[in-house]
């Protein structure tokens, strides 16, 4: 009986660890996808990764998307990552180097990313909007 309880407890612990690993993989996949979309100037697809409730409160004007289309990303670097203790949120400070196609000048902007896991939708969403090339 004792060995059966020990086996059951081990199985529960392993299942919990696997679930945690899966959540971390999903989080990293979402952040990697975001970075890839930024690097390849897929700004319309970026909007799909922003939480619908955040978008309802902070609609993204077409002008902001057009402004981003004037730039090419030459570098995207994560500078700082802070995870919430509950594992359902992450804040990242990133540095993005942008090349303006019309003026042939490069500029560096900093963007604060807020990622949250939406348990109802079962995925990670951005809660801080698109990078703004007007910021430093």
What size, in residues, is the chain?
Answer: 136
Q: How far apart are CA 50 and CA 121, in angstroms?
A: 13
Spell out the domains of the chain, with CATH numbers in brackets. Answer: 2-126 (3.10.450.50)
Partnered with residue 92 across adjacent β-strands are 81, 113
Is the pLDDT at 112 greater than 70, yes or no? yes
Is the pLDDT at 14 greater than 70, yes or no? no
Q: How far apart are CA 133 and CA 111, in angstroms?
A: 9
Q: How far apart are CA 129 and CA 113, in angstroms?
A: 8
For the stretch 22-58, pLDDT in tens is: 878 999 999 999 999 999 999 889 999 999 999 999 9
Is the pLDDT at 13 greater than 50, yes or no? no
Spell out where the chain has E strands: 71-83, 89-100, 105-118, 123-126
pLDDT of residue 22: 82
pLDDT of residue 9: 45
């Amino acid at each position: 009986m004792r060995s059966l309880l020990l086996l059951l407890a081990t199985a529960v612990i392993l299942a919990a660890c696997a679930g945690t690993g899966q959540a971390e993989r999903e989080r990293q996949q979402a952040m990697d996808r975001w970075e890839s979309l930024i690097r390849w100037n897929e700004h319309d697809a970026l909007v799909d990764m922003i939480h619908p409730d955040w978008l309802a409160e902070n609609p993204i004007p077409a002008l902001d998307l057009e402004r981003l289309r004037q730039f090419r990303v030459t570098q995207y670097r994560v500078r700082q990552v802070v995870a919430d203790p509950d594992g359902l949120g992450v804040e990242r400070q990133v540095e993005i180097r942008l090349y303006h196609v019309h003026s042939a000048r490069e500029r560096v902007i900093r963007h604060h990313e807020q990622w949250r896991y939406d348990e109802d939708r079962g995925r990670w969403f951005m809660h801080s909007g698109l990078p703004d090339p007007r910021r430093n």
